[in-house]
Structure 1
């Protein structure tokens, strides 16, 4: 739906626009699918701060930053389905025998895809252990990097190529891809509003860099593929079991009940958890993923709703309290359809 919007949807747009302004983002988009129908399309702002910047349109593609992990998670689910990985509980050293046995002892694929591996990296690129695997939760890209290498080792190709063959091409996606060359439709990243915008491009197409750009529509359709268990336009594009594996809770139980639950990188709702990105009014079974530049894909199967929200400002609004605003957004969406 384009044009005049009234009522609760208008209030949600106002909230999105308010955060855009407060955080210094130059761009915003909001795309909602409900019951397999487009309920809302909203595009605002410019590709960067400046009078010569292009307006945001439905063709604009945003760098989705860490939200690319949802794509990597599907590749892991495929590797399980294809028997390249026998179990999420396989030790990672089974696939990387060259890894330091002492450092990686007890670390499994499950730990890597649920942010419970306990590994970190210092400014010199040295990987070290912060806590024993499976005992705590902490976001760290070390796990993402290892899983990216794992898929390449298993398939002999990067996960972007795997997904292009199995998902993007069958769906006709043309506005989703790891970009290495400038294009007028690519939205730059605002680091500081008083500095030139960053292109967000990479040097490789293999998924090792954060150079995935997606249009709001195809970001929402990515979510729609999940809520429909891999089926689109009457065709089973992705096996339903692959989707279920990626989006169901996969982490071990933590002694700290405030820690978030994860599927294959997705944040998954079971009960309300203080450190989760999902608000307390979001139904169980919902899942979400967010990037540092603001892109959010929220899926609420109980309401058959998919919401794609886009910004282009590093970092998510709120400073140390950023979780409050992520949770507030998901609560506002849940309230719309409850």
Structure 2
């Protein structure tokens, strides 16, 4: 084991057992080189199940939303979306009148104020004046991408991003297969929702740890491939990872790019206080996370298959500690 990552490895292993995850992985890249990787556990509780390894694909939960975010940025680049400040009602009909002031920027930064109540969209607070994590905004963005491209999100992302960049261990799946950790859907308390659609609208995106690290690297390098080719314009990635949160959102609330959480001193921020300014991260409900640290030219990925909440577990404290330990290791 690389000595400087020893404390990080011990911490990830300890949390794996505390949260009841059967599987864990760490994959860290710096200057485009793998500096540390670790795989532990099995795909599920059955001792005969497959060992976790480099080709194991985890369900990444809400990390999937960053793939949607990149699709939106690409549509802006191509002029299919005029501006991030366009009203959502310009693209989607039959929204309630109260939602007409909601823009794409609001959806992408969780500042839209929309919520779903008894099947109807309602406004909880004025757009751009507060922050609340609600999936209704993600659903609207999915509709917009589908409408403008004439394709499902999954097909559009595969064609425009995954295939050109060689991310072959990433995809939306509706059935179990050898390399997928699929135990999320077997129990009655499934907290990921349905998985009968491969369109990209459900929480069933599966990614290997090394592919997720490459996803982070793709943003860090602003679209330059491992072979040094600029396959997508750098501006697509610049807008995704730069500050997009409206000025009216209170300073104590998180700051976002397009979905990505940006380093910011906030009680709700996911990013640890020892991580350099300019870093950004995204976390999924299953415990998977990807942290990009431009100051170290590095990407750190952590993967779990967490199935449920446990008592006395503070996910914010956990993910901040993970990032702080990564940052500490790079400073050694």
TM-score computed with the length of structure 1 as normaliser: 0.92
Separation in structure 2 between the aligned mates of residue 209 and residue 248 of structure 1, nearest angstrom: 26
Matched, 1:67 2:60: no
Matched, 1:18 2:14: yes
Separation in structure 2 between the aligned mates of residue 255 and residue 69 of structure 1, nearest angstrom: 21
Shift in Å, 1:316: 6.7
Describe how 1:217-236 pairs up with structure 2 within 5 A: 217-232=210-225, 233-236=227-230
Query: Partner of 2:102: helix, strand, or coil?
Result: coil
Separation in structure 2 between the aligned mates of residue 148 and residue 6 of structure 1, nearest angstrom: 41
User: Number of matched residues?
Assistant: 330
Q: Deviations over 1:240-276 (max 9, x none)?
A: 000111111101124532211001000011x422211
Corresponding residue to 1:126 among 117, 120, 132: 120
Query: Partner of 2:11: helix, strand, or coil?
Result: helix
Q: For structure 1, list consecutive stretches of 5 or more residues without a partner in the other structure.
A: none
Separation in structure 2 between the aligned mates of residue 199 and residue 277 of structure 1, nearest angstrom: 20
Cα separation, partners in 2 of 1:190 and 1:177, compared to 1, 3 Å: closer
Q: Which moved more, 1:201-210 or 1:183-192?
A: 183-192
Q: Deviations over 1:158-204 (max 9, x none)?
A: 22211211211112222110002220111024589x97989987222
Matched, 1:246 2:253: no
Describe how 1:199-210 pairs up with structure 2 within 5 A: 202-210=195-203
Separation in structure 1 between the aligned mates of residue 105 and residue 172 of structure 2, nearest angstrom: 26
Query: Partner of 1:43: helix, strand, or coil?
Result: strand
Separation in structure 2 between the aligned mates of residue 87 and residue 61 of structure 1, nearest angstrom: 35
Q: For structure 2, list consecutive stretches of 5 or more residues without a partner in the other structure.
A: none
Structure 2 counterpart of 1:279? 272
Structure 1 counterpart of 2:253? 259
Cα separation, partners in 2 of 1:189 and 1:298, compared to 1, 3 Å: farther
Structure 2 counterpart of 1:307? 300
Separation in structure 2 between the aligned mates of residue 160 and residue 15 of structure 1, nearest angstrom: 34
Given that 2:190 and 2:307 are in contact with CA atoms closer than 8 Å, whether structure 1 keeps it comes out as: no
Separation in structure 2 between the aligned mates of residue 324 and residue 89 of structure 1, nearest angstrom: 34
